[in-house]
Amino acid sequence: MINWGMAVISLAAAQGTGSKAVANGASGFLFSSPVDHALVAGTLVAICAGVVGTFAVFRGQSFATHSLSDIGAAGGAAALLAGVTPLAGFASMGTVAAIALESAETTSAKDRDITTGVLLGGSFGLSALLLYLASNFTNVSGATTGVLFGSLFTVSASTLPFLAAISVVVVLSVGLVARRLTLASFDPDLVRVKGKSPRTAGLIFLVALGLAVAMASLSLGAILSAALMIGPAASVLRLTSRVGTAVLTASLLAVAETWLGIYLAYESYSWPPNHDGWPASFLVVALVLLVYLASRGLERLRVLMGGNVGLSGGSATERGRGATPHV
Amino acid sequence: MANGTVLEARDLVVEFPGRRVLDGVSFSIREGELVSLIGPNGAGKTTIFRSVLGLLKPTSGLILTRAKRQSDSATAATTARINGTAATATATSTVAKRAFGYVPQQVSFDRELPLRVKDVVRLGIDGHKFGFSRDRKGREKRIAEVLEETGIPELASKRVGELSGGQQKKVMIAHALAGEPEMMILDEPLANLDLKSQDQVVALLERVSKVKHVAVFLSAHDINPLIPVTDKVIFVSGGKAACGPINEVMNSEVLTSLYGHRVDVFDYHGRMVVLADPEGGHHHDHAEGHGGEGRLNW
């Protein structure tokens, strides 16, 4: 059974505490077992976040992504209560919620928002109950904090193969449906007139999204995971004109933000106020936010410079124009 | 179905709860023909398109299509009777879907969409399929050909979300052509375009029909921009339709019969002006807001 409270203790023991950690520097960072596990897990999560997040953002499913992560909290809490790894709970609930969202007969974006909102509200209530029960009737310490805010440093070696297997499933699933998803993103009827179903691709994608969110929930927590799914993709989408480049860049950016966040969390044991470490999830999400803001600044710079700054291809001469097509 | 006919609809009836949208509509379209579907809002234009495309199951009627079968280079004539059963309707749809290139009225190319024009055209070839694409060389050659045919090779590497409405419309026409259809179906392709863009799109569609011999079936509110290029007009109103050359359909006698009250058609400096009797029942509603008492604006 996982003990969220042990994370801080094990990390502190692995690196030495306080000023000793500073003396160990980067070499101590790389030879710490919890850090190594966090880096491997974080890398897998970040790659999936880049792949899935790119499609989620340009398909307008950022709210669904956030909802799936919040809904997954109920699964994580149920897993703690049942005495199994939270990953199983996050993944099961994420998959069920994804199928429920895609199966709901919504005819408009407004309908979809209402359905998502209702499911989200219900799952929050269920999460509150399950977290209360887990906190009071199990010997799991820090259950609520662990489920909601995660901890990269609690990922065990035995969990890594499962994360790797889920990553493969996620990446292959998105690769399988990528073309149809892209076509359906500008009009689902363009898929239907070819005799194919846009909903099949949508369902496969949402399940992949649910699994990726589950992985991110384990490391960053149910509440913060959506930031890693959406942030890196949103940061690069306006800087490139190719889906492949966007996926690759978003993944690399997510990996970089995760690694830097883990390094800062390790170093934070020498930081005030208490010299007992800052939450890795906060540091990763803070980096995601900073990079996103910087990307928007770069976007503005492109407009001012006439579109000569960017990752690849495409004219940016009209970047300043609005989203509505004009004549 | 006669030789050279790519689509024929006979006695098409579509009923929605509480009302009959199409009431025995019949028409045919030959290869290389440019056919304009004209009528006021709510007349059933989109319902006709959705029926032909297999997106909507008609209540009754007959749709005949000549489809290019991917597994058989020979052209096959396919007939299906739509009688409300799922099996026959599905058979009709499956055949029809292979033959049509579709351009929706409004495609939302968001600025976040990381796609270039050639990517959108590429999706017209195999965007509906699962898995990773093959025959990269063949696809790239086809994309270059289509961009050349539609007159937009210089836009190939532009980000599609940043193009003008007229350019995006041409991109979608290229997307539809990339699938090598024998008929293009375009829902209000001239809507929300300025006059210059309208002229460019009309000229492009004329090239598609006359040079590539691909039938073009499009809907519009206003016949005037299409008069020089339209081979046949299908005028639909109140669930009924009249089909034929413009001068045989767009005249006072036919439209009066279709509407059930007096409608006058005038030639005003080469433009067709249609005026309805101001006392002419519910059709008068369509005249409101279009700058002229009793004028029907399509």
Model confidence pLDDT, tens digit, residues A53-109: 999 998 888 888 888 888 888 888 898 888 888 888 899 998 998 888 887 766 667
On whether both B168 and B229 belong to a single domain, the answer is: yes
Answer whether residue A326 is part of any domain: no
| Domain count across chain A | 1
Binned at pLDDT 50, 70 and 90, residue A273 comes out as confident
- CA nearest A190 in B: which residue? B102
On whether both B110 and B160 belong to a single domain, the answer is: yes
Max CA distance (Å), chain A: 66
Answer whether residue B256 is part of any domain: no
Residue B31 phi/psi, 5° resolution?
-65, 140
Cβ atoms of residues B116 and A314 within 8 Å: yes
Contact B165 A326 (CB under 8 A): yes
- CA nearest A234 in B: which residue? B112
- CA nearest B94 in A: which residue? A195
Q: Kindly state the DSSP code that residue B114 receives in the 8-state scheme.
A: -
For the ranges A260-264, B10-14, B133-137, B201-205, the lowest mean pLDDT is seen at B133-137
Q: Kindly state the DSSP code that residue B116 receives in the 8-state scheme.
A: B
Within 218-277 of A, beta carbons closer than 8 Å to B belong to 234, 237-238, 240-243, 245-246
Confidence (pLDDT) at A290: 96
Confidence (pLDDT) at A309: 52
Contact A195 B114 (CB under 8 A): no
Please state, in angstroms and rounded to a whole number, the distance separating the CA atoms of residues A211 and B167: 39
On whether both B231 and B270 belong to a single domain, the answer is: no
| Mean pLDDT, chain B, integer | 80
Binned at pLDDT 50, 70 and 90, residue A323 comes out as very low
Q: Torsion angle of alpha carbons A186, A192, A198, A199, nearest 10°?
A: 130
Cβ atoms of residues B58 and B12 within 8 Å: yes
On whether both B184 and B62 belong to a single domain, the answer is: yes
Within 172-231 of B, beta carbons closer than 8 Å to A belong to 179, 192-194, 197
Q: In 3-state terms, chain B is what percent helix, strand and coil (to 5)?
A: 35, 30, 35
Please state, in angstroms and rounded to a whole number, the distance separating the CA atoms of residues A235 and B161: 17
Interface probe for A, chosen from B126, B162, B177 (most Cβ of A below 10 Å), is: B162
Residues of B in contact with A296 (CB under 8 A): none
What tokens were used for B112?
Answer: 């976040």
For the ranges A47-51, B64-68, B273-277, B278-282, the lowest mean pLDDT is seen at B278-282
Q: What is the pLDDT of residues A5-50, one digit of tens each?
A: 444 444 444 444 433 444 455 556 667 788 888 999 999 999 999 9
Confidence (pLDDT) at B81: 45
Residue range(s) defining the domain that contains residue A30 = 11-305
Answer whether residue A2 is part of any domain: no
Query: A180 and chain B: CB distance < 8 Å anywhere?
Result: yes
Residues of A in contact with B102 (CB under 8 A): 189-190, 193
Strand bridging mode B19-30 / B5-16: antiparallel
Pick the residue with more confidence: A27 or A248? A248
Please state, in angstroms and rounded to a whole number, the distance separating the CA atoms of residues A67 and A120: 6
> Residue range B68-75: average pLDDT?
35
> Residue range B59-66: average pLDDT?
86
Binned at pLDDT 50, 70 and 90, residue B36 comes out as very high
Among the partner-chain residues B119, B128, B158, the one whose CB lies closest to the CB of A196 is B128
Q: What percent of chain A has pLDDT over 90?
A: 34
E-strand stretches of B17-110: 19-30, 34-38, 60-68, 75-82, 100-103
Confidence (pLDDT) at B33: 95
What tokens were used for B141?
Answer: 């050659």
Binned at pLDDT 50, 70 and 90, residue A186 comes out as confident
Confidence (pLDDT) at B285: 36
Residue A56's closest CA among A298, A320, A232, A316?
Answer: A232
Query: B116 and chain A: CB distance < 8 Å anywhere?
Result: yes
- CA nearest A192 in B: which residue? B55
Among the partner-chain residues A57, A191, A327, the one whose CB lies closest to the CB of B166 is A327
What tokens were used for A207?
Answer: 């399940």
Residue B109's closest CA among B125, B121, B120?
Answer: B120
On whether both B286 and B191 belong to a single domain, the answer is: no
What tokens were used for B166?
Answer: 């007229």
For the ranges A152-156, A236-240, B145-149, the lowest mean pLDDT is seen at A152-156
Helix (H) / strand (E) element for A299: namely: helix A280-305
> Residue range B155-181: average pLDDT?
91
The owner of tokens 């928007």 is A296
Cβ atoms of residues A246 and A105 within 8 Å: no
Q: What percent of chain B has pLDDT over 70?
A: 81
Answer whether residue A325 is part of any domain: no
Cβ atoms of residues A287 and A278 within 8 Å: no
A250 min Cα distance to partner chain B (Å): 12
| Mean pLDDT, chain A, integer | 81
Q: Does pLDDT of A111 surpass 90?
A: no
Q: Does pLDDT of B283 surpass 60?
A: no
Please state, in angstroms and rounded to a whole number, the distance separating the CA atoms of residues A209 and A307: 33
Please state, in angstroms and rounded to a whole number, the distance separating the CA atoms of residues B226 and B35: 9
Say which residues have a Cβ less than 8 Å from residue B106's Cβ, sequence separation at least 6: B191, B192
On whether both B274 and B227 belong to a single domain, the answer is: no
| Domain count across chain B | 2
Residue range(s) defining the domain that contains residue B149 = 5-250
Contact B162 A196 (CB under 8 A): no
Among the partner-chain residues B55, B158, B194, the one whose CB lies closest to the CB of A314 is B158
Residues of A in contact with B158 (CB under 8 A): 314-315
Cβ atoms of residues B241 and B25 within 8 Å: yes
On whether both B16 and B163 belong to a single domain, the answer is: yes
On whether both B275 and B136 belong to a single domain, the answer is: no
Query: A319 and chain B: CB distance < 8 Å anywhere?
Result: yes
On whether both B168 and B193 belong to a single domain, the answer is: yes
Residue B271 phi/psi, 5° resolution?
-105, 145
Contact A180 B130 (CB under 8 A): yes
On whether both B273 and B138 belong to a single domain, the answer is: no
Q: What is the pLDDT of residues A127-152, one digit of tens each?
A: 889 888 888 877 766 777 777 887 78
On whether both B132 and B13 belong to a single domain, the answer is: yes
On whether both B245 and B275 belong to a single domain, the answer is: no
Q: In 3-state terms, chain A is what percent helix, strand and coil (to 5)?
A: 75, 0, 20
Residues of A in contact with B128 (CB under 8 A): 179-180, 183, 190-191, 194-196
Cβ atoms of residues B170 and B204 within 8 Å: yes
Cβ atoms within 10 A of the Cβ of B77, count? 12
Confidence (pLDDT) at A18: 37
Q: In CATH, what number is assigned to the domain containing residue A286?
A: 1.10.3470.10
